[in-house]
Amino acid sequence: MARIPYPDPTALSPETQEFLAKLPPLNLFRMMAGGENLLRAFVQLGNHLLFKSKLPPVLREIAILRVGALSGAHYEVFQHERIARSLGMTDAQLAAIRHGPDDPAFDDLQRLVMRYTDDVVRNVRASDEMFEALRGKLSLQELQELTVAIGYYMTASRFLETFGIELEADGAPRSA
């Protein structure tokens, strides 16, 4: 159960009401609407990371799911497993994300992305060794997008868990 009530949409500014009405009916968005303009900024960055970045989508989802797993953010993992499946990730890979980068379900680059994600989540600053290893495999833009995606989904996971946001009543995954 959420720690605080979801905002009454009619009590939000007209701009936020209009923006919220255009989004998928996710409890994350419903709760964040209480921050008014915070919702628009959050969604804009999320949309860029999901739809406009150069980072290969499977690598992005591996990082997102790993952040969710490390953060204990069930909602985040639930929502992004559907996205990962639509990209061709297998159930074995999705389960392996919880086990870590040494699982044989991943190729070398995917393992490296998971190790980098672990390093950033746990230590804030990736080690020089990890940074250089990934820098040799990704373009500078992809490396920057990966790092921002990790931070963004750390923020999302912490928001979800801090406010106790539960899965939507029907439990159906939706695009986030």
CA-to-CA distance for 131 and 80, rounded, in angstroms? 25
Is residue 99 assigned to a domain? yes
Is residue 3 assigned to a domain? no
Instruction: Write 33-36 long-range contacts (CB < 8 A, 24+).
Output: 33/7, 33/9, 34/6, 34/7, 36/12
The pLDDT profile of the chain, 176 residues, written as one tens digit per residue, is 899 999 999 999 999 999 999 999 999 999 999 999 999 999 999 999 999 999 999 999 999 999 999 999 999 999 999 999 999 999 999 999 999 999 999 999 999 999 999 999 999 999 999 999 999 999 999 999 999 999 999 999 999 999 999 999 875 545 55
Are 146 and 99 in a shared domain? yes
Are 72 and 152 in a shared domain? yes
3-class secondary-structure state, position 102: coil
CA-to-CA distance for 130 and 169, rounded, in angstroms? 41
3-class secondary-structure state, position 57: helix
Is residue 169 assigned to a domain? no
The number of distinct structural domains making up the chain is 2
Are 79 and 118 in a shared domain? yes
Q: pTM for the full model?
A: 0.93
> Which helix (H) or strand (E) segment is 157 a member of?
helix 140-163
pLDDT at 1: 85
